[in-house]
Homo-oligomer: A and B are copies of this chain.
Amino acid sequence: MREIEIWFEFGSNYSYLSVMRIEAAALQFQVTVRWKPFLLGPIFRSLGWSTSPFVLQKAKGDYVWTDMARQCRKHGLPWQRPTVFPRSALLPLRVALVGAEQPWIGAYCRRIMTLNFAEDREIDDPRLVAEVLTELGLPAQGILEEAQSDANKLRLRRQTEAAQARGIFGAPTFFVGDEMFWGDDRLDDALAHRVASPS
C-alpha cells in the first residue's frame, strides 16, 4: 500500500480543507495516510514573520476568506470564519502527536478542525480537547497527561524542526516518498503521484 504524509496545523485554514477530506480521498486512491502535526509559528518566525501572512498582507488576507468560503462550498464542508486567526493550537497538536499512529487520529483531527473553522471555538482549551477525546470513546485524562509530558512536548518541537529540515514552509504540505506537494490544491496530485520503484 502506498503512503501519503500530511503535515498540518490546526490553526491553518487551508489545512482544514485537506484534513477534512484526505482520508476519503486517500481511500479512493488506495493510499494510507500518515498524520504529521507540526507548529507553523516557528516556521513563519524563521521567515521573519510574526504571524500568518494572511494577517500581515491585508489584500491577501481579505481574499483568503472569500476563497475559503468558495472552497468549502465546492467540497461540501461547513465554514464559519474564525473570530480569532490564527488560533493557537498547541495542546490539540500535542494530542495529535500522541495519537498520530492510532486508529482515532483522523476522526480526532476532523473534530478539532471543525471546532475551529465551522464552530469558532477556542481549540486550545484543555476542557474542550478532553470533551472531544471523551466523545470519541477515549481515555481523555491519560491522553492529555501524555500529551503534556516533557517527552511529548520535545517530540513536537523535534517534528517542527524536521518539517523545516525537509523544506516545509507552509501547511498543509504532503509528501509521497521524497516528493513534496504544498497546499490543499495539490492534494489530488499528491495522491495520484507514483513513486518510481527502485530498479
| A interface residues (Cβ-Cβ under 8 A, vs B) | 47, 57, 59-60, 62-63, 66-67, 70, 74, 164, 167-170, 179-183, 185-186, 189
Report if A59-B185 is in contact (Cβ < 8 Å); known contacts: A66-B180, A180-B66.
no
Q: Are B189 and A63 in contact, CB atoms less than 8 angstroms apart?
A: no
Q: Are B63 and A182 in contact, CB atoms less than 8 angstroms apart?
A: yes
Within 8 Å CB of A63, what residues of B?
167, 169, 180, 182
Within 8 Å CB of A57, what residues of B?
47, 169
A47 to B60, CA, bound (A): 10
| Complex A-B, nearest 8 residue pairs according to Cβ-Cβ distance, in ascending order | A59-B169, A185-B185, A60-B169, A59-B167, A63-B182, A47-B57, A62-B167, A63-B180
Min CB gap A16→B, angstroms: 17
Within 8 Å CB of A169, what residues of B?
57, 59-60, 63
Min CB gap A19→B, angstroms: 19
- Given contacts A59-B168, A67-B181, 11 further A-B pairs with CB under 8 A are A59-B169, A60-B170, A60-B182, A63-B167, A63-B169, A63-B182, A66-B179, A67-B186, A74-B189, A183-B185, A185-B185
A67 to B168, CA, bound (A): 14
Min CB gap A161→B, angstroms: 14
Q: Are A67 and B167 in contact, CB atoms less than 8 angstroms apart?
A: no
Partner of A70, one of B67, B167, B189: B189
Within 8 Å CB of A170, what residues of B?
60
Within 8 Å CB of A179, what residues of B?
66
A189 to B60, CA, bound (A): 18
